[in-house]
Each structure stands twice: as structure tokens, then as C-alpha cells.
């Protein structure tokens, strides 16, 4: 295992990285970004390179970023003209704003651990971006960044497809912060960090809500006065990048079924389900925010609004306190009192853990029946996400007794997490398909930024 050390400080953001096969370098990102911008170059110029510039660009690279409040997930894809995307590396940095940790893995499985010097202060998204780029370079990605793609949770009612980000677009994204206050600001922080790192490189926003903009009105509205709908109070739905990837994947795995009615269950720390007809979203379990629908790792899922009125009137809880309860201390974690991790709950002999799992399963089954009604029955069910892909006990509990829906489970195939886990005679086919939101972002970025003809910013020029 290779270890990269990173040191950072808040003002200016200094980063120090080294690896066994790389010289030690130090970068002040704020000063360097300003200097690079003035010169029309990448901030990763000579300071990140060997003393002699390299004139040859081996391949173009698309970076994808999924920035949260305390973490950044990322991936790097190689792009050849007319060819498929080639995953070069992926990883995650956690503990932004606190105690950071992270790693990068190559496509071959070699892992580089990032270790951060804590004495120099607090890490922000900009410093995390520097650590990512240093790690990619240390892994020998002597390539050039042609574009950066970003997962943006909320696109509001208007953004129905990926878009290039400029100052005007960024201002519009900031106006959507009230619709996703716990996600959107951090998505924007990741964008701003990438724009500073690559000031002349195209940045593309890919929206988690865009896939669901094909909802019919009845799946998009609440029973409130129409003026609220017109103002943007709607059932947006989320996890759209995952659903879009699965929908595209189904076209290659089972093209006939992909043209029919499919229910996709994205079950993970964040969980939702979606009914799809001929590749278009018809209904989703999530609504105005990412709280609605299924119970999740720490989020409550469906909740009677009267409970909120009770908490405010009787418990005197503030909006911030209710937000903290519903987003961070409910769901599997809140019900079990143990953990938000399904693996830990399945291993526990606690009655509370069993109750949390049982409630999760019951809600998935309930939503499965409801979504089937939306599309008049389903040709296929797809499980994806961390729980959907790996928790065979949960899948078995969800599907047991569902013969009335045409679902007959193959017990052995399910326990082996095979691609098809339904019995051969099952009218409804059940799939287990790993999702790949990063690849979906990369594909959108290539298409939106015109990467095949784009001028790239060198990572090690």
C-alpha cells in the first residue's frame, strides 16, 4: 500500500503531499489559483510537476466529484476519442472540517491511503481537492483534465439536464439552497474548489432530480394550493443519477424489459424507489426533500406532518432541532439505537435492531406494491445500492410472499447475489445490478463539455 501524506492549513490553503515514488511538493492553492488564472493556465502547473515540463498529453481525463458536508467521493476516467470511458482511479475523503481520512484505489485495486497532518489546522473542500489531485498524480496519472463533473442534488423545476457551470449558473444553483439546505451548499463548495483548481476547464453540473422531471403531474404535486406548486413545492425525487445508470444498463442486459415497466430499489444509507416506464421516471418514493419515503440510515422516511406540529407545539423543538432529528438521528440509527449500518444491525441480537430491519423491509414492500400500481404491474424489479446489492436477507424478506406480483425468488441465486435472483419460471424478473453514479456523471460530462474536442488542463505538465 502506498501512503500519501498531506498537510493543510486554512489561510492560505497549503497542502503537502509525498509518496514513495514522488518528490515532496508544497502548494498554496489560493495564491496559485490566482496566479494560474491570470496566466490562463491550470493551478497544477510547475509546482505539481517535475522540473522539466512534459509536452506530451497521454490521454484526457474526466474527474467526477460528489461533495457532501464532510466528504468528497471522486473518480477519474480516461477518455479516448470515440472510445468507452476507462476508470483510472476512485476514492473518497471523509472528515472535512474535522479529522480527515481518505484513500484512492486504482482500477487494478491498488490502494493509496491519504494521511493528513492534523497540526496545521482544519481541512476545507479546497484543501480536499488538492489532496485528491496530489493522490491522482502520485498514482501515475500523467494525464490531463479535460472536464470536471459534479453531482448536484437539487436542480429545481427548471434544470432537466446536465449543464455547463459559469457564474450565472452558479448563482442559480445557490438560489436552490433552501430546497436542499443540507446538500446543495456542499455540492456548490465542491464546484467552487474545482473551479479554483482548474479555472479554464469546463465544469458540468449533473442533477439528481433531473431524471424525475418526466413525472406526470399527479406524481409531482402535493394536495396544497396550486400556488405552492408554482413556487416550486413539488415532489422532485432524488437518486436520479443512479436510476438513470440502471435504466441504461438494463438496455444492454435486457433490452426488451428495459422498454417495459421496471421498479428500481436504490437501497443504501440513502434509500428510495422509482417506477420507470420505457426509461422514464413515473413516480418516486422521495418527494420535496431527500427525507420522504423509505426509512434510511439516519433519515426518517415517510412521516405524518402532524408529528412535526406536535414536536413544535408540545416539545418546543426549533426548526434546527427537528432538522437534526429527522436527518441525523432517525431511520435505522434512531430506531435501533445502535447503528445506521445494515450489516451491524443484521449481526446484532438486539430486539431494537430486529425491529428496525423489520420496519425497513415493511416499508420497501409497501412502496413496491404502490409503485407497481402506478405502472399497472412490473416486468422487472432491480435492487441496487449498498443494501440492495449486498444484503440478501433484506432482499429475501422483501420478496417473500410476493407471488401475487408474479415474483418467485430463487433462494440460492439470491444468497449468492447473482445478477438474476428470480426463479426461471417467475413472470416478474428480479435483478441485482450494481449502480455507478460516477460513471453516469462522467458520461454526462463528456457529452456536455464536448470532451472529445476540449482543450485539457494538464495534471502534470
Bridge pairing between strands 2-9 and 14-19:
antiparallel
116 membership: H or E segment, kind and range: strand 111-117
Residue where one domain finishes, among candidates 191, 207, 223: 207
* Residue 458: inside a domain: no
Does residue 291 sit in the same domain as residue 373? yes
Q: Which percentage of the chain shows pLDDT scores above 90?
A: 66
Both 252 and 317 in one domain: the answer is: yes
Report yes or no on 452 lying in a domain.
no
Q: How far apart are alpha carbons 30 and 247 in whole angstroms?
A: 41
| CATH number for the domain that contains residue 267 | 3.30.420.40
Q: State the catalytic residue, choosing from 81, 86, 142, 208.
A: 208
Q: Across 411-458, where does the E strand assignment appear?
A: 429-432, 457-458
Residues 179 and 240 reside in one and the same domain: no
Q: How many distinct structural domains can be found in the chain? A: 2
How confident is the model at residue 420, as a pLDDT? 98
Residue 118: name the closest of 3, 2, 8, 4 by CA: 8
- 10-residue mean pLDDT profile of the chain (461 residues): values are 41 35 31 36 33 48 88 89 85 82 87 69 77 75 81 94 95 91 88 90 97 96 97 95 97 95 96 97 96 96 98 97 95 97 97 98 98 97 97 98 97 98 98 96 95 57 35
Torsion angle in degrees (nearest 10) through CA of 300, 306, 309, 311: -50
Paired with 9 in beta bridges are 14
Indicate whether 191 and 169 sit together in one domain.
Answer: yes
Inside any domain, residue 453: no
Q: Is 435 exposed, middle or buried (0-12, 13-18, 19+ CB in 10 A)?
A: buried
Same domain, 233 and 369: yes
* Sign (positive or negative) of CA dihedral 329, 333, 337, 338: negative
Q: In this structure, are strands 144-152 and 86-94 parallel, antiparallel, or unpaired?
A: unpaired
Asked whether residue 117 falls in the same domain as residue 150, the answer is yes
My answer on whether 148 and 258 are in the same domain is no
3-state class of 376 per DSSP?
Answer: coil
Residue 157 and residue 267 in one domain? no
Q: Which residues pair with 400 in a beta bridge?
A: none
List Cα–Cα distances, 218 to 12, 156, 215, 221, in angstroms: 51, 17, 8, 6
- Residue 188 and residue 226 in one domain: no
pLDDT at 181: 83
User: Is 454 part of any domain?
Assistant: no
Q: Which CA distances in Å does 366 have to 106, 243, 337, 348?
A: 40, 20, 24, 25
Same domain, 174 and 319: no
What pLDDT is stored for residue 109 in this prediction? 86
Question: Is there a single domain that holds both residue 21 and residue 163?
Answer: yes
**pLDDT (0 to 100) of residue 140:** 62
pLDDT at 50: 32
Q: What are 166's three cell numbers?
A: 459559469
Distance in angstroms (rounded) separating the CA atoms of residues 309 and 312: 5
CA–CA separation, 175 and 156 (whole Å): 9
Looking at the fold, whether 182 and 250 belong to one and the same domain comes out as no
Domain that holds residue 178: 2-207
User: How many helices (H) and strands (E) are present in the chain, helices listed first?
Assistant: 17, 17
**Is residue 43 within 8 Å of 199, Cβ to Cβ?**
yes
Sign of CA dihedral 62, 132, 184, 153: positive
Where is the domain boundary, 181, 207, 233?
207
pTM for the full model?
0.84
DSSP summary character for residue 78: E
For the stretch 340-390, pLDDT in tens is 999 999 999 999 999 999 999 999 999 999 999 999 999 999 999 999 999
376 belongs to the catalytic site = no
Q: 3-class SS at 397? A: helix
Is 442 a member of any domain? no
**CA pair distance 59, 452, nearest whole angstrom:** 11
In contact, 202 and 228? CB cutoff 8 Å: no
Whole-number Å distance between alpha carbons of 373 and 206: 30
Report the pLDDT value the prediction gives residue 259, as an integer from 0 to 100.
94
Residue 96 confidence (pLDDT): 81
Helix boundaries (H) for 78-141: 125-138
Give me 309's grid cell.
Answer: 406540529
What pLDDT is recorded for position 183? Answer: 85
Residue from 97, 124, 155 nearest 11 by CA: 124
Amino acid at each position: 500500500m502506498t501512503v500519501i501524506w498531506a498537510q493543510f492549513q486554512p489561510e492560505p490553503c497549503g497542502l503537502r503531499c509525498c509518496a514513495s515514488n514522488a518528490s515532496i511538493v508544497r502548494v498554496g492553492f489560493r495564491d496559485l489559483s490566482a496566479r494560474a488564472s491570470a496566466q490562463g493556465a491550470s493551478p497544477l502547473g510547475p509546482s505539481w510537476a517535475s522540473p522539466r515540463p512534459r509536452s506530451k498529453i497521454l490521454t484526457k481525463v474526466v474527474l467526477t466529484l460528489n461533495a457532501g458536508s464532510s466528504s468528497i467521493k471522486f473518480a477519474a476516467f480516461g477518455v479516448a476519442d470515440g472510445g468507452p470511458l476507462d476508470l483510472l482511479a476512485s476514492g473518497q475523503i471523509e472528515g472535512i472540517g474535522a479529522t480527515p481520512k481518505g484513500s484512492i484505489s486504482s482500477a487494478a485495486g491498488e490502494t493509496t491511503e491519504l494521511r493528513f497532518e492534523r497540526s496545521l489546522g482544519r481541512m476545507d473542500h479546497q484543501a480536499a481537492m488538492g489532496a485528491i489531485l496530489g493522490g491522482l498524480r502520485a498514482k501515475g496519472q500523467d494525464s490531463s483534465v479535460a472536464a470536471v463533473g459534479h453531482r448536484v442534488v437539487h436542480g429545481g423545476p427548471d434544470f432537466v439536464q446536465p449543464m455547463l457551470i459559469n457564474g450565472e449558473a452558479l448563482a442559480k444553483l445557490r438560489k436552490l439552497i433552501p430546497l436542499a439546505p443540507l446538500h446543495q451548499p456542499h455540492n456548490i463548495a465542491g464546484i467552487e474548489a474545482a473551479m479554483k483548481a482548474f479555472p479554464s476547464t469546463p465544469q458540468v453540473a449533473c442533477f439528481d432530480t433531473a431524471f424525475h422531471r418526466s413525472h406526470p403531474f399527479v406524481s409531482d404535486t402535493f394536495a396544497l394550493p396550486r400556488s405552492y406548486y408554482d413556487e416550486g413545492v413539488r415532489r422532485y425525487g432524488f437518486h436520479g443519477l443512479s436510476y438513470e445508470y440502471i435504466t441504461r444498463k438494463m438496455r444492454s442486459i435486457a433490452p426488451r424489459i428495459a422498454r417495459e415497466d421496471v421498479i428500481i430499489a436504490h437501497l443504501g444509507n440513502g434509500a428510495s424507489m422509482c417506477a420507470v416506464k420505457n426509461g422514464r421516471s413515473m413516480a418516486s418514493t422521495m418527494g420535496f426533500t431527500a427525507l420522504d419515503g423509505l426509512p434510511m440510515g439516519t433519515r426518517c422516511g415517510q412521516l405524518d406532518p402532524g408529528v412535526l406540529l406536535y414536536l413544535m407545539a408540545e416539545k418546543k423543538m426549533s426548526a434546527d432541532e427537528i432538522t437534526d432529528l429527522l436527518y441525523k438521528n432517525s431511520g435505522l440509527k434512531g430506531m435501533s439505537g445502535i447503528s445506521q449500518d445494515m450489516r451491524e444491525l443484521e449481526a446484532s441480537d438486539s430486539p431494537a435492531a430486529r425491529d428496525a430491519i423489520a420496519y425497513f423491509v415493511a416499508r420497501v414492500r409497501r412502496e413496491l406494491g404502490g409503485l407497481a400500481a402506478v405502472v399497472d404491474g412490473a416486468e422487472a424489479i432491480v435492487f441496487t445500492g449498498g443494501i440492495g446489492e449486498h444484503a440478501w436477507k433484506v432482499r429475501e424478506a422483501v420478496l417473500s410472499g410476493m407471488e401475487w406480483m408474479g415474483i418467485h425468488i430463487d433462494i440460492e441465486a439470491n444468497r449468492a447475489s447473482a445478477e438474476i435472483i428470480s426463479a426461471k419460471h417467475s413472470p416478474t424478473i428480479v435483478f441485482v445490478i450494481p449502480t455507478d453514479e460516477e460513471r453516469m456523471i462522467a458520461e454526462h460530462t463528456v457529452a456536455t463539455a464536448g470532451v472529445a474536442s476540449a482543450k485539457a488542463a494538464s495534471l502534470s505538465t
